[in-house]
Structure 1
């Protein structure tokens, strides 16, 4: 690779009967790459499924980290292009060099940081630039200054994007309020693979295992779930929690463990940490709970739980109600309300909401509307449009 190009951190996939023919159009997905959570799962699955629709995907990581080692769906090439800070615009030139060298037909960015250099590389090469909206940047964290800065970067960068791919109708509405015109917005719901063999399960008896999966940070609402659990245990319900995922910071982890001790929940929680095989985790949960406070797009873990046959209780935040119909394919609770979350979980524990019927309906709804293939088809249609294929 030339001096102006970026380094590669993985080997290209070996030839197989599933490998895309060399005539496929090439697309580069510019991502952060330091974590592997919902947005990164989308990127990984697009890398796997886009060749079915005529596109060969590669990745550029501007914050190289867990993505390269944790991805499991795709074997697309990964290139490292580390940015020193948010405004490291020199990397736009390096990305442009790679785009020319690899003959990429589309630049597809996924975060405000990557949108900035994606915009620059598009300007330098004339290659069209697409931006994927995974969550509302203005409500991405509990740090107002951080949110404000990222939203300004995003708004400036996407001015050059030919199309925005929004993962939910609620996010599309949010982008319209920021002045993005309707003809530049396409809604493509997130999707996850269907599980080949969903294990038949009986209605839980005795102790119920609640589960949650996340990159644990303040907006995920773990404190609300812990407080709801304490209320349910005080009412005599036998429950425990299986918590899957890493913490964003050691400070937040310490605060959560202090709350666990205060609520006397230490003997009722299994801290699993990061897990590569999330589907295997869902089979060990009787009820999946996503207590997010705000800042979601269309949570991948909700779709993965539906596909695995684990009924979902989730809060009414962006995108969730586009996947879940309350009382039919899952249960909806008010965000940041431990008492209401406890009531909605209790409705399932006591049979007021039918665990078996929710499971059955969720499996069908996922298969019909939220598969990884449907997601890739939608994204490919965006590429077809801008490339006039």
Structure 2
């Protein structure tokens, strides 16, 4: 089997555990008491809203974290779904703005009314769909706006024609934004390659709340619990994980798999469960569906696995796993090596290779890597570099570069 050390095509993964800086410096805006003495400027975060997955967790965390920097958040959802009910920032106003596939003018009109009603100073889009709306509002009102890029849309899935269409819409709208926030350095380079001036693209890594302390645990003995967590869809590579688990099980390894999260569609759910049955894994793999309390699920895992096939931007599930003190086996797709350093917080493998994935997991099961030191390194790296506070500070710094109204004393 091939491991990451045998894969020379993936550039720059086998390096010492050294931190690397990002392409654009982040200088936090004033926070704490100074921000509290000033009236908050309101930012309208325009989101899809149908799921509560990685990008939605970023939006929710920003609503919780930006207040300390003098910014109040208002949400506008363009799709019905889980976000409105599941978000933690329940005190944040939320408007439902329907957006049909065609005829967006009425949606733009509704957003403009929300902006007037809430005295919005800045727009913040999170998807290609919402970027189109924000560009329309900007053209009619002059309000500045920011586009938060969460993944490279041109190679977001196996549906290549759809990738091109969505990617072109994404590029057309984003080029009109005052700033593009890229969640990883690789994503910042993606936008610069598409012709966006480098000065307008800023890297702000994702962040999650750090756990108070690293949970005291003994190394697993006997059976291991492998975990994965996602909005399950073809780009997540779950089929590769199932194939790897079948290989490991056939070799006598004792393990269980906890697959946490909803499915993109009923059809895809049937596909994965039929594959699980066909491979003889019904007693090994547990599909939990959507779970609100993910901390409880993470505490039940010994090793986190993310077998993505395409660039991830900066996966929130990896940061949440690291916060829980879980070492990681993940595909070396764009964004992931900026979080997980191969051999430090986990192991990286070639995307799409079930043999490489099985080999990396087996190294943990065999005790060939130090589980305890990797889990500690994962916990410390998330706490030090990918916290909720650092993400909110970075976004606030981007806001601070834009021509916003002066804050008034309370």
Q: How would you bin the TM-score normalised by the shorter chain? A: over 0.9
Q: CA deviation at 1:337?
A: 0.1
Instruction: Please list, as runs of the form range in 1=range in 2, the aligned pairs for 1:22-171 lying within 5 A after superposition.
Output: 23-73=39-89, 75-85=91-101, 88-171=104-187
Greater shift, 151-160 or 259-268, is seen at 151-160
Matched-pair contact (CA < 8 Å) for 1:63–1:81: yes
Q: 1:241 to 1:20 in 2, by over 3 A?
A: farther
CA shift, 1:146, in A, is: 1.9
Distance 1:89 1:177 in 2: 31
Q: From 320, 325, 330, give the equivalent of 1:304.
A: 320
What are the equivalent positions in structure 2 for 1:15-26 lying under 5 Å apart? Answer: 23-26=39-42
- The alpha-carbon deviation at position 149 of structure 1 amounts to 1.6
Partner of 1:14: none
RMSD: 1.6
* Mapping 1:346-385, distance limit 5 Å: 346-385=362-401
Which has the higher relative contact order, 1 or 2, with Cα contacts under 8 A spaced 6 or more apart?
2
CA contact (8 A) 1:93 1:124 kept: no
CA contact (8 A) 2:214 2:379 kept: no
Runs of 4+ in structure 1 displaced over 6 angstroms?
A: 19-22
Give per-residue Cα distances to partners, 1:327-364, cap 9 Å, x unaligned.
11121111000000000011111111110000111111
C-alpha separation in 2, matches of 1:234 and 1:89: 57
Q: Is the CA contact (8 Å cut-off) linking 2:74 and 2:94 kept in structure 1? A: yes
| 8 Å CA contact 1:93, 1:120 repeated in 2 | no
Give the secondary structure class of the aligned counterpart of 1:241: strand
Task: Report the Cα distance in structure 2 between the residues aligned to 1:55 and 1:252, rounded to whole angstroms.
Answer: 40
**CA shift for structure 1 position 20:** 6.4
Asked if 1 retains the 8 angstrom alpha-carbon contact of 2:311 and 2:335, the reply is no
Structure 2 Cα separation of the partners of residues 374 and 22 of structure 1: 21
Counterpart contact for 1:86–1:113, Cα < 8 Å = no
**In structure 2, what is the Cα distance between the partners aligned to 1:182 and 1:320?**
22
Where 1:194 maps in the other structure, the secondary structure is coil
Q: Of the candidates 225, 249, 257, which is equivalent to residue 273 of structure 2?
A: 257
TM-score normalised according to structure 1 size: 0.93
Task: Give the corresponding residue for 1:244.
Answer: 260
TM-score normalised to the size of structure 2? 0.88
What SS does the corresponding residue of 1:161 show, helix, strand or coil?
coil
Contact 1:53–1:380 (8 Å) recurs in 2: yes
TM-aligned CA deviation for residue 90 of structure 1: 2.2
